[in-house]
Amino acid sequence: MIEVRMRNAQEGQAHIADLSSVLIDCVHGAASVSFMPGISSRQATAFFESVFESVGRNERILLARFISGALVGTVELVTAMPENQPHPGKVPKLLVASEARGRGVGTALMRHAEEVSRSAGKTLIVLDTAMGSDAERLYQRIGWKKAGVIPNYSLLPNGVFCGTTIFSKELS
């Protein structure tokens, strides 16, 4: 396994088709990741292009995980926070391709995101995820603390409302 930190839009563009495919795969697999079924390649590409723009402005970091040369997962870390919150970072999306789940990809990406956060001077990371999801269990298993649940926060890809669980992790 190789970890790649995409430092700019040019590096990201080299993998945009694979990143888009992973996002589409996650949505089709019923992951609650801000998009609904029917997401097009164009939508997924536009999403990652906006991520790359943010990376280029040093507002976020995009990490990817590869197995045998294939991109199988990605995680974003937002480092540009409000002036009164210089110490936290935020993880808006962790995506793992369906064929790579259960192989430690999500755990490895989150551990790497924690390391990168520390290196960026962050002492806290926050995220939210669909209540009852595999991701929720992953975050608990790797030491994230559940702060609470917001009921009926978003729609699952099947159109049913779901709650979101808020997590945080203090970095030492």
Residues 2-122, CATH architecture? 3-Layer(aba) Sandwich (3.40)
> Alpha-carbon distance 141 to 167, whole Å?
12
The rounded mean pLDDT for the chain is 93
Listed by start position, the domains of the chain span 2-122
Write out pLDDT tens, residues 74-110: 999 999 999 999 999 999 999 999 999 999 999 999 9
pTM exceeding 0.85:
yes
Mean pLDDT of 9-24: 90
Is the Cα torsion angle 47, 33, 99, 3 positive or negative in sign? positive
And the tokens for 158?
Answer: 């099947």
What is the reported pLDDT for 142? 97
Band (10; pLDDT cuts 50, 70, 90): confident
Q: Is the pLDDT of residue 44 over 70?
A: yes
